[in-house]
Structure 1
Amino acid sequence: MEKYQIYQFVEKTKQQDKGQGLFELETERILEINLEEQIWAKMGTMVSYRGQIKFEREGILEHGLGKLFKKALTGEGASLMKATGSGKLYVADQGKKISILQLNGESICVNGNDLLAFEPGIQWDIKMMRRIAGLLAGGLFNVRLEGKGMVAFTSHYEPLTLIVEPGNPVYTDPNATVAWSGDLQPEFVTDVSLKSFFGRGSGESVQMKFEGRGFVVVQPYEEVYFGNKES
């Protein structure tokens, strides 16, 4: 029987150099980083590597007191690891689909739980969503990234990008919201009449409202964060 031979499996699934640069989608759910100097990635996402690479947990003062204070205050924030050296690093996060963006001076906000990796030249800052901290168990936070370089983020299944235009706001479930363009400032609105229809967690009547001009990325899945249990 010719099917299912080991060599066939190896040939079909083996790693291939695609020449895409620093960030390369080895599969839709595994990111290959062709490391030459340094990269930041979410803690716990490394699945394999080859070469001379040193891994360090994000230092307490690595990014300054301001970011440390925010992380301590929220009790949240996915920890980062710094990979330094040269080689190939493979990262993945719970089998989620990976998207890569090349920033050329633009800015983007990514849900803190969905940020996978970014180049060290990218400027970033943690933005807390204080207004809903008491409405969604554990609250939510996002990371604003801007500058020049690549950013990789994840989503459960295929992401959908919704265009936001003046006079035509977009409303999203916070638990299904992955990212949005940096010039948008989401508001948080509650509508008790939508309590049974919008969302599944303890903050099910809370929505994010995006107004202005830009885009917002959602996923076909409502992520439950930090003890926010489904009802």
Structure 2
Amino acid sequence: MKVLARGENCPAPTGPLTVELSSSTHVDVSALLLASNGRVRSDADMVFWNQPEGAGVEYRRASSGHLVRVDPSAIPADIETVVIAASLDGTGPTTFAAAGPVSVAVSDASAPQVSYSADGIGDESALVCIEVYRRGDQWKIRAVGQGYADGLAGLANAFGISVETDEPPAPAEPSSPITDSTVNSPARQGVLAMRSELFAPAHAEVPGSGIQKQGSKMCRIGMNGDIMARAGSMVAYQGNLQFEAKGSGGIGRALKQALSGEGVPLMKVTGQGDLFLANAAQDVHLIDLDGSDGLTINGANVLAFESTLSYDIKRVQGAAAGGNAGFFNCVFTGRGRIAITTDGVPVVLNVDQPTFADPQAAVAWSSSLQTRVKKNDSFGLGTLIGRTTGERFTLEFAGQGFVVVQPSEQPPGGLVGGTGGGEQAGVGGALGGLLGR
């Protein structure tokens, strides 16, 4: 059974779900159906003991505790989140810090699959325990553990339920949840009583397993195993992931030889959860290799790749061993997905005629293409192009395939024509930017 920590999420079991909540003290349990704005559509979207049925959600009391049945297939399309909360009924402790945790177990038709222990961190008398929410065509569960000091009324008001009182209420500020400012920052609209364009679906976590694009400058990896990623590219993660530096070993040996003993800044990530990667706000693109052709790529533009792919460091075809020490690239082969970055929106050239590109602007190309390195003087261009290479070279491509060209001649780290001195000079210096080094 998956045990969630506060703020962690996981895929929901398929089919109808039964959420069981139990506590050592008396609590009232409620479920709220929230639209994309984080609020109920009407009072009918609050399911509790006095209104036990809603659209796809049902509440009932059992000898073991409180049961909330959620049938995702019956939830209306305009409902994105089902919030399940507990509130103190006034017959016992006045805060959850004193009352102790609320135990939550989520079961499918066969057995419990997910559990979470929701506890208070301050003066909460109402506590949001979990969310069942949509991500694309998938349903997920998030452990929340955030609450309100003014009980069920504060919880209801925060999500758009009008609470009637005997006296006309005096104007007041919206109810504010009590949260830990670091750990319990708002994970999703509806948990906190606030609105922002940040909560629009365009900024939500994308669904799916494996390497996916998260917007244009980030990738999300639905982890259930391992992945190879650029060291230092992690910007966020959820779940139980482990990170291991890969400066030596199988991949490292091939690179060490090319780099005269220098290490390789890769990391291996393993576990289950969601991993988010980015590099200097560069554009992210995904390429799937089917094993029929390889991908030659500037190592500075590699963000992540599946462990089913293998790669080596090879000199660009046509680069003279004596004169062009900087013309090395990574060659990926096998079947799998790779995430690459470009400095700006690239153009993909179909090589059906002689094609030329600046070595630093050419990010990646089909390994089956024939390449040749030529001095710009041979084209009569002199110093008009190749301003960043220092040696004024141009890459020529021939054959059948594609070339990805970015609108920049300066990849991160400066792969070609390194500027290091001493131990960094020569091949090591020229490859100083390889894979982000």
* Class of the TM-score when normalised by the shorter of the 2 chains: 0.7 to 0.9
- Aligned-residue offset at 1:89: 0.6
CA distance in 1, matches of 2:213, 2:322: 34
For the residue of structure 2 that corresponds to 1:131, the secondary structure is coil
CA distance in 2, matches of 1:78, 1:94: 19
State whether residues 246 and 264 of structure 2, in contact with CA within 8 Å, keep that contact through their aligned partners in structure 1.
Answer: no
TM-score (norm 1): 0.84
Which structure 2 residues correspond to residues 47-126 of structure 1 after superposition, within 5 A? 47-63=235-251, 65-72=253-260, 79-105=265-291, 106-126=293-313
Corresponding residue pairs, total: 218
- Partner of 1:207 in structure 2? 394
Deviation track 1:6-65 (CA, whole Å, cap 9, x = no partner) reads: 52233136432333x311111100100111100001111111111111111114223263
State whether residues 194 and 205 of structure 1, in contact with CA within 8 Å, keep that contact through their aligned partners in structure 2.
Answer: no
- Partner of 2:186 in structure 1? none
RMSD: 2.5
* Higher Cα Rg, which structure: 2
- Partner of 1:41 in structure 2? 229
TM-score (norm 2): 0.46
Higher relative contact order (CA 8 A, sep 6+): 1
| Structure 2 residue 350 is matched with structure 1 residue 157 | no
For the residue of structure 2 that corresponds to 1:7, the secondary structure is coil
- Aligned-residue offset at 1:146: 1.4
Judging changes above 3 Å, is the alpha-carbon distance between structure 1 residues 201 and 161 closer, same or farther for their aligned structure 2 residues?
A: same
- Aligned-residue offset at 1:164: 1.2
Aligned pair partner of 1:146 in 333, 340, 345 = 333
What runs of 5+ residues in structure 1 fail to find an aligned partner? none
- Partner of 1:7 in structure 2? 195
- Aligned-residue offset at 1:103: 1.2
What runs of 5+ residues in structure 2 fail to find an aligned partner? 1-192, 420-437
For the residue of structure 2 that corresponds to 1:68, the secondary structure is helix
Judging changes above 3 Å, is the alpha-carbon distance between structure 1 residues 142 and 54 closer, same or farther for their aligned structure 2 residues?
A: same
Query: Percent identity between the aligned chains?
Result: 32
Given residue 152 of structure 1, which amino acid in structure 2 is its aligned partner? A
Deviation track 1:66-104 (CA, whole Å, cap 9, x = no partner) reads: 33211336x5x8621110111111110111101101111
- Aligned-residue offset at 1:132: 8.0
Given residue 218 of structure 2, which amino acid in structure 1 is its aligned partner? I
Judging changes above 3 Å, is the alpha-carbon distance between structure 1 residues 184 and 202 closer, same or farther for their aligned structure 2 residues?
A: closer
Given residue 282 of structure 2, which amino acid in structure 1 is its aligned partner? K
CA distance in 1, matches of 2:280, 2:255: 26
Given residue 182 of structure 1, which amino acid in structure 2 is its aligned partner? S
State whether residues 198 and 204 of structure 1, in contact with CA within 8 Å, keep that contact through their aligned partners in structure 2.
Answer: no
